[in-house]
Amino acid sequence: MSWGTSRMKMKKSMSLMMVLALSTALAACGGGNNANNTAETNTGNATTTNEANTGTNTTTNEPAAEEPAKTDEVVTIKYATWGDKADNGAEMKRIKAFEAAHPNIKVEIDKSMDWPWDEKLAAAAAANKLPDVTWLFNVPLAVGSGWLEDLTPYLEQDPDFSSDKIYGNLSDTGKYNGKQFALPHGLFSWVIVINKDLFAKANIPIPGPNWTLSELEEISKKLTNFNEQQFGIDGAAGMGDVLIPNFNPSLGASTWDGTKYNYTDPAWAEAINWANNFGMKDKSSLQSYTKEQRDKWYGKDISGFNIGKVGMVFDATWSLGWYKDNLKFNWDVLPVPGVNGQKAGLVTDYAGVTKSSQHKKEAVEFLKWMTYSKDGWLNRIKDEAPLASMPLVNDPAVWDAWLNQKFVTPGIKEIVKAIPNGVLETFKYQPGFADFTSKVKDKYNEKFQKGEARPEDVAAELQEQSMKYYNEAMEKINEATK
C-alpha cells in the first residue's frame, strides 16, 4: 500500500507522541521503596500524563543497531519457556532471529521445563540443572531461593538500558533491594472484547472508552435473548480483582498501595461482590447458567462468545491474535469499565538469567533480545505476527511497527492510550502474593460464589494473612540478596 507524504508524516508524528507519552506516564506510575527497601510499583497512585505536552517536551534517541559479537567461539545456552515451542512457533522464530544477529550464540530450548513451573524450577535447581535463561512464573520465589543472577552490573554497562529507552517502572518490578533480578518480556492488558455485529443487531451504540460499570450492566441486559440462547456477557465473575482500583483509585491491583495491602478497604468487597452478584447471578451473564446448559446450547466446552452468541467477554490482549485469526464476526475491544475512576489492569511476564549459568554474558544478551532490544522487538513484530504483547521499549519505530499490525483495531489503540494510568497485576512480582493467593485467598472464591461467605466477613483475615506472607517472603529475599 502506498501512502502520501503528508499521511506518513502525520502517522509518524502520532506514533512518536504516543510512545513518548507512554514512557513518561509509565515512569510516573513507579512507587517508592517499601519498608524493606524493596523497589515495588505503586501503580495505585499512577499519574495521568498529558499526551500532547509529553510529546512536545521530550525527545527520544533511537538506539544504534546491535552488532553481532566478534568471536569464533560458539556458545550454547539453554532457554526455558512455556511459550509456543513448535518448530515454526514463536519461540523458535525468536531464537532464529537472535542467532542470526549473534552468530557466536546458539540457543537450545530446555524441554525438561514444563508445568508446574515453580516445582520444575526447584527440581532443576536441586539437581544443578537450571537453564541459562528462564521465564518466571513467581519472580520473588526465584529470587528468595537464590536461583537468579543479579543483572545490575550487566545493565549498568549497557547504554541501551536506560529510563528513556525502556519503561523504568516496569523494570523495577523485577528489582529487589536495589538489585535487578528479572525483566519483563511481555505486556498485556485486561479488556472487554465485544461482538460489534450483535451490538448493531440490537441497535446498541458502541460505548466510548470511558464507559462505566452501570453501562456494561445495561448493555448486557439489552443484548440478552434467552429464547435464542444469546447473552450479554461471559467472564464477568472474573473481573473482581481488576475492578478494585476502579472502585477506589488510591489502590493498586490486589489492594496494594505501594507499602501494604488494604483488604479491609470497602473497595475490595465492593468489587468482589459485584463480580459474584452480577457475573454469577444476573441472567444476562452466561456464567449464571450451568455448564450442562452451556454445553447443550453451544456444544461441549464451546465458547458462546467465539461462535457469536454472546455480546461481550472479559479477556486480555494476549488473546487478540487468536481472535483475529478465528472469529467470524466483527469485533473490537473496550477498556474495563470505570466506577469511581477507570484504570487499565496490566499484566507482565518475566524472565531472568540463572546464577548457575556458565555463560552469563551470552545469556544476558539473549535476555536483552527478549526484553529491551530495539532489534529484538522489531524482529518479534515481524516474525511472530500477530504479536499480542505490547512493546516494552520506548522507541518510535517499534511502536509504529506494532500499531500497524493487522489485528490492531481502533479499540486496541484506546487500550494503548490507557496504559499510562494502568495498574500492574501483583501475582508474578509481589513477594509472597502467589503463596497467599493459592493457600489463603483462593479458598474463599467458591464460597463467595455460593453465598457461603461474604468478603466483608473475611477481609480482616485476608489483610493479616496477606501481610504475613509478604513479610515472610521479604525475609527470604533479604537474606538471598545480601
The mean pLDDT value for 142-168 works out to 90
Q: Is residue 169 part of a domain?
A: yes
The total number of structural domains in the chain stands at 2
With respect to residue 49, please indicate whether it lies within any of the assigned structural domains.
no
Supply the DSSP symbol for 354: B
Q: Is the peptide bond before 386 cis (omega within 30 degrees of 0)?
A: yes
Tell me the three state secondary structure of residue 32. coil
- pLDDT single digits (tens) 195-248: 999 999 999 999 999 999 999 999 999 999 999 999 999 999 999 999 999 999
Domain final position from 413, 436, 452: 413
Residue-wise pLDDT tens digits, 298-335 = 999 999 999 999 999 999 999 998 999 999 999 999 99
Whether 5 shows a pLDDT value over 50: the answer reads no
How far is it, in rounded angstroms, from Cα 169 to Cα 80?
25
Q: 127-150: per-residue pLDDT in tens?
A: 999 999 999 999 999 999 999 999
CA–CA distances in Å: residue 211 to residues 37, 205, 320, 334: 38, 12, 21, 9
What secondary structure does DSSP assign to 232-283, as a single string? Answer: EEESGGG-HHHHHHHH-TT--GGG--SS---TTSHHHHHHHHHHHHHHHH-T
The pLDDT score that the predictor gives to residue 106 is 98
At 71 the pLDDT is 55
Is residue 308 included in any domain, yes or no? yes
Q: Within this chain, do residues 375 and 327 fall inside the same structural domain, yes or no?
A: no
Reply yes or no on whether the pLDDT at 1 is more than 70.
Answer: no
Q: What whole-number distance in Å separates Cα of residue 253 and Cα of residue 392?
A: 20
* 471 and 352 assigned to the same domain: no
Q: What is the pLDDT of residue 49?
A: 28
Phi, psi for 56 (deg, rounded to 5): -90, -20
Query: Do 178 and 242 fall within a single domain?
Result: no
Digit-coded pLDDT (tens) for 87-99:
999 999 999 999 9
pLDDT for 66 equals: 52
* Cα 237 from Cα 220, distance rounded (Å): 14
Q: Tell me: do 113 and 211 sit in the same domain.
A: no
What was the pLDDT predicted at 208? 96
Instruction: Examine the domain organization and report whether 87 and 154 are in the same domain.
Output: yes
Same domain, 445 and 304: yes
Among the listed ranges 278-292, 370-384, 414-428, 457-471, which one has the minimum average pLDDT value? Answer: 414-428
User: For the residues 276-280, what does the mean pLDDT come to?
Assistant: 96
Cis peptide before 391 (omega within 30 of 0): no
Confirm whether 36 is domain-assigned.
no
pLDDT-derived band at 36, boundaries 50, 70, 90: very low
Mean pLDDT of the chain: 87
Q: Which of 50-59, 110-119, 182-191 shows the lowest per-residue confidence on average (mean pLDDT)?
A: 50-59
Residue-level pLDDT at 60 = 38
Closest CA to 102 of 322, 340, 376: 376
Surface-to-core class of residue 205, CB atoms within 10 Å of its CB (0-12 exposed, 13-18 middle, 19+ buried)? exposed
Are 80 and 210 within one domain? no
Rounded to an integer, what distance in angstroms lies between the CA atom of residue 27 and that of residue 49?
A: 10
What's the distance, CA 78 to chain centroid?
25
What confidence score (pLDDT) does residue 46 get? 31
- Length of the chain, in residues: 482
User: Are 396 and 429 contained in the same domain?
Assistant: no
Q: Enumerate the β-bridge partners of residue 393.
A: 166
Q: Give yes or no: residues 114 and 262 share one domain.
A: no
Residue 457: pLDDT over 50: yes
**Co-location of 326 and 447 in the same domain:** yes
Last residue within a domain, chosen from 357, 387, 413: 413
What CATH number corresponds to the domain at position 267? Answer: 3.40.190.10
As a whole-number percent, the residues of the chain with pLDDT over 90 amount to 78
Same domain, 230 and 329: yes
pLDDT higher than threshold 50 for residue 45: no
Section 169-187 average pLDDT: 93
Say which residue, 405 or 449, is predicted with more confidence: 405
In a domain, 212, yes or no: yes
pLDDT confidence tier of residue 168, bands split at 50, 70 and 90 = low
* pTM of the entire predicted model: 0.85
- Neighbouring C-beta atoms of residue 206, cutoff 10 Å: 14
pLDDT category at 162 given cuts 50, 70, 90 is confident
| Section 352-359 average pLDDT | 98
In whole angstroms, what is the distance from residue 302 CA to residue 296 CA?
10
In a domain, 164, yes or no: yes
In a domain, 366, yes or no: yes
Query: Which of 327, 320, 334, 337 lies closest to 305 in space, CA to CA?
Result: 327
The answer on pLDDT for 65 being more than 60 is no
Contact between residue 192 and residue 313 where contact means Cβ atoms under 8 Å apart = yes
DSSP state of 441: G
Instruction: Please give the residue range of the domain that contains residue 228.
Output: 188-346+425-481
Domain end among 413, 448, 468: 413
Residue 46 lies in a domain: no
Q: Is the model's pLDDT at 425 over the cut of 50? A: yes
State the DSSP H helix or E strand holding residue 290, giving kind and residue range, or none if neither.
none
Bridge partner residues of 212 (DSSP): 338
Same domain, 98 and 153: yes
Q: 152, 179 in Cβ contact below 8 A?
A: yes
Cell of 31: 512507587
If one compares 162 and 113, the residue with the highest pLDDT of the two is: 113
